[in-house]
Amino acid sequence: MSTKPTLCFLTGTLNAFAGAERMTAVIANELARRGYTVHILSLWDAASCFELEPAVRHDALFAQRPSFKTRYMTTVLGIRRYLKRHEIEVLIEVDTMLTLFTLPACMGLGVRRIAWEHCNFDQDLGRRARRLARRLAVGTCEHVVVLTHRDRRKWETALRCRNVVVIPNALPLPMPRETVPATSNVALAVGRLTHAKGFDVLLHAWALVHRHCPDWRLDIVGDGELRDELVRLRDGLGLQQCVRFLPARKELEPLYRQASLFCLPSRYEGFGLVLLEAMAFGLPVVSTDCETGPRELLSGREVAIVVPPDDAAAFGTAVCTLIREPNRAMAMGQAGRAFAAGYDGREIGKRWATLLAGPDAKGRSISPASSI
């Protein structure tokens, strides 16, 4: 009989092309392959954008997203019934905001709770509820898992807590056997079309690139509320012929393989998962120096050219540098590929397994100061 605890990942939905949702599927699959009984409970929508192992059970409380102000108690009771029915032993909350539901839902059940934060600590979106939820999470959960050491230090300083551990995101795909040929004149950017991702800055940067390297094209892949605004900006800059907006999709490998350069213009990130993907394919990278995520991944390594956020001129100049210096771009891509290999899903899965083994095991190979 297995001694591994029965797990449940609680998330908003898996039917969205976003980093937290994708990583939930990746880690749930990896733990299922390690012999855990794994459930995923979405608050709404039983569909998933990402493939799940047959052993992973995925359910949803509601068919569509409800108003949680009016359905709060229904949600709490639904979570509680699910945990009891399936004898869940460890609940992993994929967002500290979910603590507002899980704290009352788990009362008296003896369920171990782990909160998994995908936003950086400074990214509270001005919501008092999120600040409250974070305080409740560190006060009532066994652990809070964050993605970077910089973020852990912010949690510990602001909330005076010692139960925050660092487990970085895993490379969400098998390590590609070969690097991209890098023979195209295509740069790639991937992400939600939101203010945080800085695609308006990238468009202004590309106006500079287009003046100096007119035979290059930029593909921006993603959906979001700023799509129409960004399309208007592209057209206003006269970039219709060299910038394409492509919809979000599950299968990104063909786009990585068709590109020769990757751009991440974010104003802030929790981690920067697409950086790992791009580096795994051997793409040279131009990235902003976000305090959490990219700065920790990229600083001090010859795997990218890093520029300040919100600096279109610096970003465009960096892109032109890589275009004009193919040997440097190739060396950077090779170094990035070697770096990305260290984030293999099996290695990150080991860290989760150690954490899940319980308080007595946490000192062996994972601690608040552990690192890749």
Which of these ranges, 51-55, 298-302, 314-318, 338-342, has the smallest mean pLDDT? 298-302
Q: Predicted confidence band at 369 (pLDDT cuts at 50, 70, 90)?
A: very low
User: Which residues, in sequence order, are CB contacts of 196 under 8 Å at separation 6+?
Assistant: 123, 266, 267, 268, 269
User: Which residues, in sequence order, are CB contacts of 233 under 8 Å at separation 6+?
Assistant: 200, 203
CATH no. of 7-170+344-365: 3.40.50.2000
- The ranges of the chain annotated as CATH 3.40.50.2000 are 7-170+344-365, 186-342
pLDDT tens, residue by residue, 176-228: 988 888 899 999 999 999 999 999 999 999 999 999 999 999 999 999 999 99
Q: Predicted confidence band at 2 (pLDDT cuts at 50, 70, 90)?
A: low
**Which pTM does this prediction carry?**
0.85
The stretch 64-82 carries a mean pLDDT of 95
- The predicted pLDDT at position 122 comes to 83
| 101 pLDDT above the threshold of 70 | yes
Which of these ranges, 178-192, 233-247, 250-264, 289-303, has the smallest mean pLDDT? 289-303
Name the one residue in this structure whose structure tokens are 């106006």: 207
How far is residue 221's CA from residue 249's CA, in Å, rounded to a whole number? 8
Taking residue 8's Cβ as centre, other Cβ atoms within 10 Å add up to 25
Class of domain 186-342 as given by CATH: alpha beta
Q: Identify which of 355, 362, 364, 368 has the alpha carbon closest to the alpha carbon of residue 7.
A: 355
Residues 172, 351 contacting (CB under 8 angstroms): no
Question: CA-based angle 63:173:32, to the nearest 5?
Answer: 60
Which of these ranges, 111-120, 134-143, 269-278, has the smallest mean pLDDT? 269-278
Taking residue 225's Cβ as centre, other Cβ atoms within 10 Å add up to 10
